Structure 1
């Protein structure tokens, strides 16, 4: 249950960043540095990977 909740939160955060315009390599790098500074590099990498997954699925949730 906790893993499902964490995954859902990660998906929501990734979608939020994408909706806020973090969809270019430059903006992704900027976001990665900011997240890594606050939460660590591993957390930033997980978020970016999820953003990539959500970008491929954007037709399902972006309207």
Structure 2
């Protein structure tokens, strides 16, 4: 089995979002903590439950 990739943590995503807002501007805030958790869980679920072969990095990013 391939090594488990590192999946994004909500704190890291929120930090990157804050940095992007500082640099480019935009609306601050989070619509829903649950939606963020769900979006981040999709890639991890795909990694564990997708049919063989394991998804590549591009597929995981698109998920």
- Under TM normalisation by the shorter chain, which class is it? 0.3 to 0.5
The TM-score, its normalising length taken from structure 1, stands at 0.36
Greater RCO, 1 or 2 (C-alpha within 8 Å, sep 6+): 1
Higher helix share: 1
